[in-house]
Amino acid sequence: MSALNWQKIDTGFARELDPTGQLRILSCYQCKKCSSGCPMERDSDLHPHQIIRMVQIGRKEETLRSKGIWTCVSCQTCVTRCPMDVNTPAVIDALRAMASRAEIPKSVRQVSLFNRIFLEWAKRLGRIYELGMMGTFKAGSLNLFSDMEKFPMMLRKGKLRILPHLSRRRSNLRRVFKRTIKKGPK
């Protein structure tokens, strides 16, 4: 995709997501450095540079209904690589908040459920507890018995812990959650 003629583009969606412009959405010139480093690129219907472009050109409906905004793991690789300091993970967070206020399409509901469960366990323990997370996800998605054959191998290889480990600094993380919730979505 090439440079845009901003005079002809409706930037209302970008301004709705980021009224102060601090996320630098309109600075993106589609170099794709973000997408080439994104670990979730293969699992997503929209890559990071495409999400930013969709926002720039005001494709609100399609962006909010995409799976791409839920597959991001907030690793920050994209923002680190971006020559224009576009804060893609923060844009994605704002998109998630907006999509959650609207109705989440059935096709991406499981991805959004996983995302909520991941954050809930992180908030409780200060770190991730895979077994608890998988159990909660399976119960929540009413899909209790899928992938059961993988459990013994994962336990044997030490990929799953039976009991959770608590982070000694979990109170710090709780404070971060509390402050973020208090601040509310953008």
Distance CA 134, CA 36 (A): 29
Q: Which member of 14, 17, 23, 52 binds ligand SF4 (CB under 6 A)?
A: 52
Among positions 31, 119, 128, 176, the unique one binding ligand SF4 when judged by CB under 6 A: 31
Q: Tell the smallest beta-carbon distance from residue 2 to ligand SF4 (Å).
A: 12
Phi and psi at 30, nearest 5°, equal 65, 45
**Binding residue count for ligand SF4, defined by CB under 6 A:** 28
Residue 39 touches ligand SF4, criterion: CB under 6 A? yes
Nearby residues of 21 by Cβ (< 8 Å), 6 or more positions away: 15
Site string for ligand SF4, 79-98 (x = CB under 6 A): --xxxx-x-xx---------
Cα–Cα nearest to 11, from 23, 26, 1: 26
Q: Does 78 bind ligand SF4 (CB under 6 A)?
A: yes
CB of 40 to ligand SF4, least distance (A): 4
The reply on whether position 54 binds ligand SF4 by CB under 6 A is no
| Residue 162: CA count within 13 A, CB half-sphere | 3
